Each structure stands twice: as structure tokens, then as C-alpha cells.
Structure 1
Amino acid sequence: MPPHRPVTPAQRDLDRAIRAAIRADGRIGHALAYGSFTQGTADAFSDLEYYVFLSPAELPGFDVRAWLEGVAPVRHFVLNDFGTPNAVMDGLIRVELHAEPETALLGVEGWPNWHMNPAAMLVKDRDGRLAAHLAALRAKDQPQPEDEAQLIHDRLLNWLVFGLNVLERGERVRALELLGWVRGGLLRLARLAEGSTEHWLTASRRAEWELSQGTLERYALLTGRLDELEGLYAEAWHWMQELTERVLGLRGASPELAREVGGRLGGLQRRR
């Protein structure tokens, strides 16, 4: 296990300040925190993450950056790849703050309900609706990773074929990028094969301490240079086939598709 770096006073102070500012802001009717701070697993490197819900009339005038600046200095601010406002505060503390209309409250019940603690999550609830939605979410049956196994496999196979096609076209940089999606799918299948699904939603989290040394070594074989891609894709294909046999009930690629993938890989390697 890695040495534990406990949550810092700066993180705790910032979390308290943000929560207090949320409660004091009359425009915000409902708010919650999420992530490791609400799950009891935060450390010195953890983000602070929140959702605030406002009336549709108030939402357009709510400037997330300006609001955070009113709490503490913002050293960097950006809308991330998914459209979420992200800020970097002093001490390299990252803050995610989603601002949503109150009409989106019901959508909370559709969130993943892994490791959730409604008491730690609830920050503000003007009329009790958010508490009710969190309770309903917690009461739902938790999805089982095994139920996703076939979808994970099928998506992985799709990414692998996509990567092979662009590799043969000669787009090696793009093929290397697509290999990242292939690695992600293989990591999830490896977690299923080993029965290590504690961090299923983010399969790479704590992988160094939750997966076997053999799996980590196999994963490392999928990292390399642009001029090694033929071998990397071949290794990914072989590992995928092995994991397919190890995960109970998993249906692999059709024989016809398997022959085509094998032939494509063989042709690529012969031409190197």
C-alpha cells in the first residue's frame, strides 16, 4: 500500500468555506458535495467537488469563476472537456463546481450509487427534495460490474478494430491515441477476471495496489513508442482473448471477425 498523505488543513478550510458560501447564497436552493471527500477516502491530493442547483431564472447570471473568487483566490479556471467548470486554487487544490437548474434535481436519482453517503453529501436543501432524491438513489440496487462485462468487451473490440484500421492507414499518432481506449477496456476486464472491482467506475484508480503484479506487467506491455504499435496492438488482442476466457459468461469475437483481426495484425507485423 502507498504511504497515506492525510487531507491537509488547506483542503479542509477550503471545503468549509465553499460549503458556508453555498449556504449563504440565496440564489442556491440545493447543493451537494460528491467524490472522495464524501466517501471518507480523501487524501492530500483529492479534489473538492460540488453541484449547486439554482432556479432557471437565476442560472444565467451565476458566474462560477466569480463565485469561487469570492471564496478564495482562483489561480486557474477552465471548462474541462466535459463542460464542467474546474478551478485550481492555492496548494494545487482542484475544485469542480457544477451549476445546474433546479429542474435537474430528479436526475440525481440516475447517478451511480457506489460508495455514497447522503449525510456527507448534502450541503443545502431548501425544501427537502434533494434529500429525498439522494435517499432514493441510495435505495436503488447497486449495478454489478459483471452485468457490464459484455458491453465492456464489445466496446473494447470496437476500439481495437478502429485502431487497427487507422494504423494500417499510416496514422500512427491517432492509433496510439486510440490504444488508450483499448487499455482502459482491458483494465476493466482484468478487474473482472481478478474479482477486484472496488474502484470500478475509475478502473485505473489504485490499480497499482489492487491488481496483481502479473496484470500490471501485462498492462505495461501495452505502453510504448510510435514505431512499436504493431506489437502493442498484437499484445492487446492476445490479452483480450485470454481475459475473455477468464471472465465467466463472456462471449468473445465471432470466429469470422477473429480471423480478420488476426490476419490484419499478421499483415501489419510482416510489413514492419
Structure 2
Amino acid sequence: MLFQEKLINVVKEKCETDPRISACMMYGSFTKGEGDIYSDVEFYVYLKNTEMGQFESSDWMKDIAPYDLLFFNEFGTEVVVFSNLIRGEFHFQPESEIEVIKTFKETGVFPDTESMFIYDTTGKLKACLDDLKGDGPERMTNENVNFAFNNFVNAWIMGINVLKRGEIARSLECLTYVQKYVLQLIRIREKNVERWLNATKNLEADLSEKAYGEYASMTSRLDKEDLYHAYANALNVVEGLVLILADDYQFDINLMFLKKLRAHLRNDRLPLM
């Protein structure tokens, strides 16, 4: 049994014996049949409303497994790093907010909602999880294609401009956003959009060899000339995407606009090809 599976069992047992806990659900890889030795464990733990003020998550965590670090990340999620370096994410919320679970439907597909159920005394958790069943949100839409194209342009121009200014590190950061939006468009083209919000996840298995090569061509070292090549290659990929996606989608940018971007790219002394 994987360490993570043992953790899941311990969390379930702890919820069942702690009178302060009203309900608990799990999300992430282990609810999608994708959990392995490298996966995180992730939970929403709902407390009785009267217990929120006194509850100490650090004490509660110590009974699950030894850990080295416990902190809140930038999204307000409590992250625990267990002593064997397995990560856990825990959201401790009042019972009165349990129906927020229904909003998760907007984030993707939940193929096995029964595996998400850990514990419940409210009688509401199963109904909330049942609400997540079925197909996820439609990703292959004009709105999403236009959003990805437009945000690609925004990230691309900013990345090139700071590169020309000499901010190489900042340009490399901008390139990650360029890659994100191009990758979403590639997933649209390949009709593989289940991981729309986390477009790099399982990329090696999800995409065709051609698509993976396109993504690889947009990667770069922290080097000015290498970055220029990556931004140029991103334009090449996007030009091909415009030609293909124009048959099925409506969006603002066109090949003439991309030629203007290419001219802006070439307005520099570094060789591009």
C-alpha cells in the first residue's frame, strides 16, 4: 500500500472519531485513478461551525503523520510537507460552506465522485458530490479559443519587450505564459481538453508526438538568443493553429496581425533562425 493510501485511511479514521468534524471529501489524483508514489493528497475538511475558532490544524495534522512543514500557500490552502516529502493540501472550512463543492463542476471532470467521499454527518456531502457527476464544462468554444489567442498575444509582446530591454529573466517568466496559452490551443486542436486548467499535466501521454515537439520548440534556457528562438517558434506554432482553428472557431487575431508580431521580433540585432 502506498504511503498516500495509508494517509487517506488515517484521515478517514480521524474524521470518524473526531466530534468536531462534520464532513470530509478528497480530490486530486487518487480520485481519478492516477495516484502514484509521487502524488499529493488533498482534502476538504468541514468543521462544525462552533469549532472553527478553536480548531488548531497543526495539532490535528500531527496525529495523521509526522511532518516537517505546515504553511498557507498563496491561494490560502494549508499545505503540509510530511517527513518523507509527500505533500498534502487541506482546506478546513465551516460546515455551513459545504455547498461550495457544487462550484467545483466548473473546474473539470470528476470521473468517480464516490471515491471523493470520506466522511459525513450532515447528510449533504453525497448530494454535493453527485452534483459533480457527468461531463465537465465545455472547453472547445469560441470564447476559450479567443481567450487563449488574445492572452498569448499579451504575454508574447510583454516577453519580447522586456527581452529587448535586457530583462532576460523576466522574459523567461513571460515565456511560461506564452507556453500555457499556446498549449491550451494545441489541446483544442487535438481535442484533448480535459486538463484545460493544468495544460502541462500528463503532457507526455496526452499529446501527439508532433504537438509535444511544438511545445518543446517553445522552451528556452536563460539566454537571450535562446529566448528569441523560443518566441519565434511560438509564433510559428500559433500561425499553424490560426490556419487550422479558423475553420471551426471565430477569434480576433489573424495572419496579418501575426506578421506584425514577427516584424516586431525581427527588429533586433540578434539572429532569429
Give the shorter-chain TM-score range.
0.7 to 0.9
Counterparts of 1:1-272 in structure 2 under 5 Å? 8-111=1-104, 112-138=107-133, 142-147=136-141, 148-225=144-221, 226-227=223-224, 228-247=226-245, 248-253=248-253, 257-268=257-268
47-56 vs 141-150, greater mean Cα deviation: 141-150
1:128-174: CA deviations, max 9, x gaps? 122222222326x5212202222222222222122223223321111
The alignment partner of 2:22 has SS state of: strand
Distance 2:177 2:12 in 1: 36
Q: What CA distance in whole angstroms lies between the structure 2 residues aligned with 1:132 and 1:42?
A: 25
SS in 2 for 1:137: coil
Distance 1:212 1:130, change over 3 A: same
Cα separation, partners in 2 of 1:72 and 1:86, compared to 1, 3 Å: same
Provide the rounded CA distance (Å) in 2 between the counterparts of 1:257 and 1:62: 56
CA deviations 1:163-205 (Å, max 9, x no partner) are: 2232233211111011011111111211221222343332212
1:7-30 deviation digits (Å, cap 9, x = unpaired): x43222121001111222222212
Percent of aligned positions that are identical: 30
Q: How many residues align?
A: 264
Moved more, 197-206 or 247-256: 247-256
Q: CA RMSD in A?
A: 2.3
Counterpart amino acid of residue 103 in structure 2: G
Contact in 2 for aligned 1:113/1:138 (Cα 8 Å): no
Contact 1:163 1:178 (8 Å CA) reproduced: yes
- The one-letter code matched in structure 2 to 1:71 is I
1:12-63 deviation digits (Å, cap 9, x = unpaired): 2121001111222222212101112122221221111100122444223323
- Taking a change above 3 Å as real, the CA distance of residues 188 and 113 of structure 1, as seen in their structure-2 partners, is closer
Q: Is the 8 A contact 1:87 1:95 kept in 2?
A: yes
* Runs (4+) off by over 4 Å: 254-257, 269-272
CA distance in structure 2 between the partners assigned to 1:195 and 1:256 by the alignment: 26
Letter matched to residue 267 of structure 2:
G
Q: Equivalents in 1 of 2:259, 2:208: separation in Å? A: 31
- AA aligned to 1:188 is Q
Question: Where does the alignment leave 5 or more consecutive residues of structure 1 unmatched?
Answer: 1-7
Is the deviation greater in 205-214 or in 110-119?
110-119
- Alignment-mate amino acid for residue 187 of structure 1: L
Aligned AA (1:118):
T
Take 2:102 and 2:47, find their aligned partners in 1: how far apart are those partners? 18
2:140·2:193 contact (CA, 8 Å) conserved in 1?
no
Task: Classify 1:27/1:184 alpha carbon distance in 2 versus 1 (closer, same or farther; 3 Å).
Answer: same
SS of the residue corresponding to residue 97 of structure 1 reads: strand
Q: Flag structure 2 segments of 5+ consecutive residues without an equivalent.
A: none
